[in-house]
Amino acid sequence: MKLSERAKINMKHQMVSEIYQARINKLLTTKEEYIRKNHELYLESINHLLKDVPENLLVKGTSLKMSFTYNEQTINWYATTEKPVICPLKLERYNNTPMDIPMDSSLENSVIPLYEELLDLSSKKDQFEKYLEKVFDTYSGPVQLKKVLPEYLHKYIPLPVARKPRKPIAAKPELAEIKVPDFVKEQLVENLLENN
């Protein structure tokens, strides 16, 4: 029995999500906490300026952005808040985006290892997805997949459907010979003679 393409996609998605997605989601939650913490630290640094500004003149939003440098590359992380918070915006011609708030130095020892762990986990997840893609392109049945995939992945493979035994083909009945009456032949001969 061959698996459908949809079944293969569902199996691959289930394997990847159960193995990697829970850990990635946990790291992403931690990442958002660091972005919010960085935002709070930034507001504390300019709080003495904000207390004199009327509340209605402060720009509020739900999008936050934190930037930091890793291996000479600028990394931007985004997060959202449930309630609008004071949020400095980068004014652009057609829209306003959250301003790059540089990472506070007190967070560096926590953020950089988190970023490295996210990179490592994403890389492993991508390699695993490529492996599964190659396996599913080459093998299409549950029996084949059980032979190729490691045992801890067998729980994702559907059980092969037992085939119904085929009924034996019955012998064709012999045709009974039914004799044509003799008068039909005589009538055909008469018809020929009359036409000539």
The pLDDT score that the predictor gives to residue 29 is 95
| Residue 15 pLDDT grade (very low, low, confident, very high; cuts 50, 70, 90) | very high
Q: What does the alpha-carbon distance between residue 99 and residue 86 come to, in Å, rounded to a whole number?
A: 12
Q: What is the pLDDT of residue 59?
A: 81
Residue 86: exposure state from Cβ atoms within 10 A (0-12, 13-18, ≥19): middle
Question: What tens digit of pLDDT does each residue of 125-175 get?
Answer: 999 999 999 999 898 888 888 888 898 888 988 877 777 788 887 777 776
SS3 labels along 119-139: HHHHHHHHHHHHHHHHHHHHC
pLDDT, residue 179, reads: 67
Assign 39 a pLDDT band (cuts: 50, 70, 90). very high
Q: 77-131: per-residue pLDDT in tens?
A: 999 999 988 888 777 777 777 788 899 999 999 999 999 999 999 999 999 999 9
pLDDT at 177: 66
40 neighbors 27 (Cβ within 8 angstroms):
no
Section 40-57 average pLDDT: 85
User: Which residues lie below 8 Å from residue 136, measured CB to CB, with a gap of 6+?
Assistant: 8, 11, 12
Is the pLDDT at 180 greater than 80, yes or no? Answer: no
Q: How far apart are CA 109 and CA 69, in angstroms?
A: 13
CA 8 from centroid of its chain's CA atoms: 12
Rounded Cα–Cα distance for residues 153 and 131 (Å): 13
Report whether pLDDT(43) > 80: yes
- From first CA to last CA, the distance across the chain in angstroms is 68
Q: What is the DSSP string of the chain?
A: -PPPHHHHHHHHHHHHIIIIIHHHHHHHHHHHHHHHHHHHHHHHHHHHHHTTS-GGGS-EEEEEEEEEEETTEEEEEEEEEEEEEE--EEE-SS-EEE--EEPPGGGHHHHHHHHHHHHHHHHHHHHHHHHHHHHHHH--SHHHHHHHS-GGGGGGSPPPPPPPPPPPPPPPPPPPP-PPPHHHHHHHHHHHHHH-
pLDDT for residue 49: 83
